[in-house]
Structure 1
Amino acid sequence: MNSPDQLPHTYYAPAGGLPDQNQRARERAVFTTSYAVIPRGVMSDIVTSFLPGWTASRAWILARPLSGFAETFAQYIVEVSPGGGSDHPEPEAGAEAVIFVLAGQLRLVIDEVTHEMAPGGYAFIGPDSAWTIANTADTPATFVWIRKKYEPAPGLDAPASFVTSDQAVRPQGMPDTQGYWLTTRFADPADLRHDMHVNIVTFLPGGTIPFAETHVMEHGLYVLQGRGVYLLNQDWVEVAEGDFLWLRAFCPQACYAAGRRPFRYLLYKDVNRHPKLQLP
């Protein structure tokens, strides 16, 4: 078995286009009251969005707050053509973000500090930070963008921005799993300033979540590499790299890796805050 720091890292990025006219319409897409699955095959050109303040860029918007479903976050995959990007990417005050690069090269400037980012690059952008992003290379760049309205808490400062990478952070084995289930944590779980975590979860072939997790955190889950089988509420669903899963709070969930390669996904969850006792 490979040690965690020897795992091959690949990151699936959608390429758009349109399916062949002879392809059957039925896909693996599912939307229920407790979860949704958006498979990579439906991330075509005709479902992209063009966003104010961005040039030579398009986005697949995979999650947004919906009444009666997910409540805390929005998630995109953004493709930036050479020369494209944004000097004012975030439209809402008080928003925080995570950027994770899937393909290409990006120049990210946060509070006047410049970072050159490659596949596997990870940035946490603190609430109300000034930032810009640009593709200065000659090939397209693609990244995951997760946005959340920061929730202040008494006695806690807002977390500071930081930039790192998948390659720079060593995965940690989950207890009693012999290294078959690993989590790459980019923020300290004990740091209560953070009200969201975006981690990478890795299962080596044979690795599994052996019980149906049922918890208050909601999830956005983008499969970076490999394939697996996921329990979503009462349904077992096959997923593969490039698929996106959206899990409502308290949706039962479990999974196991399939195939010969590591099964890896980027996982969003809301953390470290009291539930509000009154709905907006």
Structure 2
Amino acid sequence: MTGPTYAAPPGGLPQQSERLSDRALFTDAFAVIPRGVMRDIVASRLPLWDDTRAWILARPMTGFAETFAQYAMEVAPGGGSDRPEPEPGAQAALFVLDGELALSIGQQDHRLSAGGFAYVPPETDWRVRNLGDQPVRFMWIRKAYEPVSGLPYPDPIVTHEQDATSVAMPDTDGAWATTRFVDPDDLRHDMHVNIVTFAPGGVIPFMETHVMEHGLYVLEGKGVYRLNDRWVEVEAGDFMWLRAFCPQACYAGGPGRFRYLLYKDVNRHPRLRP
């Protein structure tokens, strides 16, 4: 088995001779943002970030998905930020796709290579910089933390996919497995970011319909996803954005593994008032 690979946005601009059609979809229940639309002209620049651009793939929207924002970040050599987070109370999850990211959390310095993961709690000083000579690309997920009386903030986490535990789903013979960066029993956390892996032919064998919102970024391979009432083919570099209760299932198309980075909100009561 080959080692992990992690797709990154292609940037650039399609040739004038290419067909206009693509697989982009936006409905009242889900969105599909294929890698082919993550081009230079739709990238965003961010205040207090040097030599950086971002493809903003998800943002809270009334009537759609409301809990998180997700960015595909690209930081040029020497770029980064000493004040990356603009909102008090926000937490962050970072996952490096390629390059090497220098990350400081408080007084602790870290280097994250491809496959590296970090969780940054709310009200925490953190900084990122590209100290190498090649661009670094990573996923950045932001969520406003929902505090609970009597529960402290979670601790920072810095790890790598290869050091995290991959757990096979029951009765799947390893065809469907989840790599968890956060202990699912730790109720201090109100979001989880996991890697889901399917062997060729692996399947979610029922229509999941649940309260958690999702951001799914395909890291490797291809698959076919059932989203609400449609089957959609997705591949490495595509992003899917699901609101709560959107029915979903999938199967891996092969010939290699189908893997995606998954966000979901967890461990909190639904708010009864705005």
Whether TM-score is above 0.5 comes out as yes
2:174 pairs with 1:185 = no
Question: Match for residue 206 of structure 2?
Answer: 211
Letter in 2 for 1:161: P
Structure 1 equivalent of residue 89 of structure 2: 94
Q: Give the partner amino acid of 1:174.
A: M
Counterpart of 2:244 in structure 1: which amino acid?
A: A
Task: Give the secondary-structure state (helix, strand or coil) at the position aligned to 2:72.
Answer: strand
Q: In the TM superposition, what are the counterparts of 1:28-107 in structure 2 within 5 Å?
A: 28-107=23-102
* Secondary structure of residue in 2 paired with 1:133: strand
Which residue number corresponds to residue 140 of structure 2?
A: 145
SS at match of 2:36: helix
Deviation at 1:167, TM superposition (A): 1.1
Cα shift readout 1:161-215 (whole Å, capped 9, x = no counterpart): 1100111113100011000000001101110000000000000001100000000
1:8 is aligned to 2:16: no
Say whether residues 1:256 and 2:272 are aligned partners: no
Runs of 4+ residues deviating >6 angstroms:
none
> What TM-score comes out, normalization by structure 2 length?
0.99
Gaps of 5+ in 2: none
* Aligned-residue offset at 1:15: 2.7
Q: 2:41, 2:223 → 1: CA distance?
A: 28
- Distance (whole Å) between structure 2 residues aligned to residue 170 and residue 50 of structure 1: 35
1:67 partner letter: T
- Tell me which residue corresponds to 2:17: 22
Q: How does 1:131-280 map to 2 (within 5 A)?
A: 131-278=126-273, 280=274
Separation of aligned partners in 2, 1:259 and 1:248: 27
> Which one-letter code corresponds to 1:120 in the other structure?
G
- Identity, % of aligned positions: 64
The one-letter amino acid of 1:117's match is L
| Distance of 2:127 and 2:10 partners within structure 1 | 24
CA distance in structure 2 between the aligned counterparts of 1:9 and 1:127, rounded to whole angstroms: 30
1:125 aligns with 2:106: no
Write the distance in 1 (CA, Å) between the matches of 2:45 and 2:69: 16
Q: Give the aligned length.
A: 274
Are the equivalent residues in 1 in contact too, given 2:10–2:36 (CA < 8 A)?
Answer: no
- Name the aligned partner's letter for residue 190 of structure 2: D
Cα distance 1:37–1:223, how it changes in 2: closer, same or farther (>3 A)?
same
* Deviation of the 1:7 alpha carbon: 5.8
Root-mean-square deviation (Å): 0.8
Q: CA–CA distance in 1 between the matches of 2:89 and 2:110?
A: 22
Scaled by the length of structure 1, what TM-score is found? 0.97
SS in 2 for 1:211: coil
Q: Give the corresponding residue for 1:3.
A: none
Q: Residue 46 of structure 1 aligns to which amino acid in structure 2?
A: I
Give 1:158 shift.
0.9
Where structure 1 has 5 or more consecutive residues not aligned to the other structure, the ranges are 1-5
Judge which range, 152-161 or 248-257, deviates more.
152-161
SS in 2 for 1:59: strand
Equivalent residue letter for 2:60: P
**DSSP 3-state at the match of 1:167:** helix
- Residue 61 of structure 1 deviates from its aligned partner by 0.2
Q: Deviations over 1:243-274 (max 9, x none)?
A: 00000100000000002111000000000000
Letter paired with 2:38: M
